[in-house]
Amino acid sequence: MTPDPIPVRAPSMLECRNCGAGAPLDEHFCGQCERILALGRHGDYFSFLGVPRRLGLDSQELERRFRDLSRKFHPDYFYNASPAERLASLERSSYLNDAYRTLRNRATRIEHLLAIEGLQSATSDQGGAKVPPALLQEVFAFNEELDEIRELREAGGDEAQLRTRLEAAREPIERKREEHERRIEHLSAQWDRQVDAPPADRKASLEALRELLLERKYIDNLLATIERESARGHS
């Protein structure tokens, strides 16, 4: 069994390059001289944006924080500043964009949470090409139907009928995706409620979310296959 990855601990304090004062890692400006701080080694998008480490984030609050920090970090404000401050504004602006892009999407938000909680990412799974057990039945039926459609198309079958069959093949996959969304919402809310729960319970919720992400990627691949096959019929 592959051991769980050990999260890299970032330093808890930053040193202001202007006055030498120390500042908490989550601060963006020095409390002594008010100059912008160098980014340093951060790694937690939630704390960088000043939002709670939750999966059920308020999208309006997230956007408000993003816009507020975008204005504060904007390089135009540091046009006449020192080279170190100009660099810091660029670094923080770039990091802010990455953080916002990650946290506003639920799937990438979960991926980021897995990383900062010390769990393996769903995108790094070595067995990602295997059919997830929960999808075996749907995948088997889908592949059989897709093979028949392709054979009929090669034999000159009626395209209207083939499109109808493709749409019929899509329906159970779409239903699976809708079911998946409900399960992800349920587990996300469960993790958010487990603030004071034992670490083992919180980890179990994250592991379950990771498995759902792996399944979701496979579902998305199946739907993409249907789209490609539909496009072939229109070419």
Answer yes or no: are the C-beta atoms of 24 and 14 closer than 8 Å: yes
Residue type for position 180 = H
Tokens of 139: 């995948």
Residue 185's pLDDT is 94
**Is 136's pLDDT higher than 90?**
no
Give the CA distances from residue 139 to residues 77, 130, 180, 210, in Å, rounded to whole numbers and listed in that order: 55, 11, 15, 20
- 131 pLDDT band, cuts 50/70/90, is confident
Highest-confidence range of 8-22, 56-70, 124-138, by mean pLDDT?
56-70
Answer yes or no: are the C-beta atoms of 120 and 2 closer than 8 Å: yes
Residue 6's pLDDT is 40
Residue 43's pLDDT is 84
- 200 pLDDT band, cuts 50/70/90, is very high
Residue 125's pLDDT is 53
CATH superfamily of 13-104: DnaJ domain (1.10.287.110)
Spell out the domain ranges in the chain.
Answer: 13-104, 126-234
